[in-house]
Amino acid sequence: MPVLPEFIRLSWQRPGLDPPQRSTALAMLSPAELSRAELTRAGSVSVIQGRMLLRTLAGELLGLDPRAVPLSATCADCGGPHGQPRIPGLTVSLSHCATAVVAVATAEGHIGVDVEPLEGSAERAAAIAEVAGAGGIRRWTSVEAVLKCDGRGLRVDPREVAVTEGSAALGDGQYQLWYPELADDLQVTVAWRA
Ligand SMILES: CC(C)(COP(=O)(O)OP(=O)(O)OC[C@H]1O[C@@H](n2cnc3c(N)ncnc32)[C@H](O)[C@@H]1OP(=O)(O)O)[C@@H](O)C(=O)NCCC(=O)NCCS
Ligand SMILES: [Zn+2]
């Protein structure tokens, strides 16, 4: 069971939509989201699913139909539709990996989420240690969740994030961390700051 405070809502799925689910999901998406999903090809199911989960979650919190949720994700660098997702009245975050799609939302403070598979090659572990320092996959999902909560993502050097069990700091920002256990094969960190 996910262990999260009540003011944080999480929704997740394994990647994959059958044709009726895909039609339902596509009908929720904005033109910008549809073009983003087309551009990403291999990852398009996860992109579609992520937006579907996020729109459904936000719709429940805001009392809106998922299609009517005013979700934008404008990139701060180029203006493209692949930046931090924003919905007035909430803060939200999304993450996808090969085996999961996770969305979180809250009406209080700022939020970020990251999911990664627990298993991986030695090369992957070495690459993660290179950018995040020692500490393994939990440390890496914590760093990414904080960077997504911050909103700059990997424009910030991941080594600037100081992580301890249950909390993190980046510049003046203090973050609380949670590790909801969604499945045995996944590491998830949710980062939140007031
Ligand atoms: C945010 C970032 C760390 C996520 O990378 P990742 O771990 O490979 O991917 P995840 O699946 O965990 O997260 C992807 C989601 O993060 C969200 N996201 C993208 N940019 C974000 C940002 N700056 N802050 C918070 N969330 C962001 C999006 O919702 C995206 O999913 P979507 O495009 O399907 O909506 C990475 O994309 C990044 O650092 N982006 C900023 C730098 C950049 O891309 N600049 C673009 C220049 S054109
Ligand atoms: Zn961009």
Look up the CATH number of domain 8-193: 3.90.470.20
Any atom of ligand 1 within 6 Å of the Cβ of 15: no
> 40-44: long-range contacts at Cβ-Cβ below 8 A with a sequence spacing of 24 or more?
43/96
CB-based contacts of 159: which residues, under 8 Å, 6+ apart? Answer: 131, 132, 133
Any atom of ligand 1 within 6 Å of the Cβ of 150: no
- Burial of residue 154 (CB within 10 Å: 0-12, 13-18, 19+) is exposed
pLDDT tens digit at each of 194 positions of the chain:
458 999 999 999 999 999 999 999 999 999 888 888 776 766 688 889 999 999 999 999 999 999 999 999 999 999 988 899 999 999 999 999 999 999 999 999 999 999 999 877 788 778 877 776 667 889 999 999 999 999 999 999 999 999 998 999 999 999 999 999 999 999 999 999 99
Any atom of ligand 1 within 6 Å of the Cβ of 33: no
| 77 alpha carbon – ligand 1 mean position (Å) | 12
Listed by start position, the domains of the chain span: 8-193
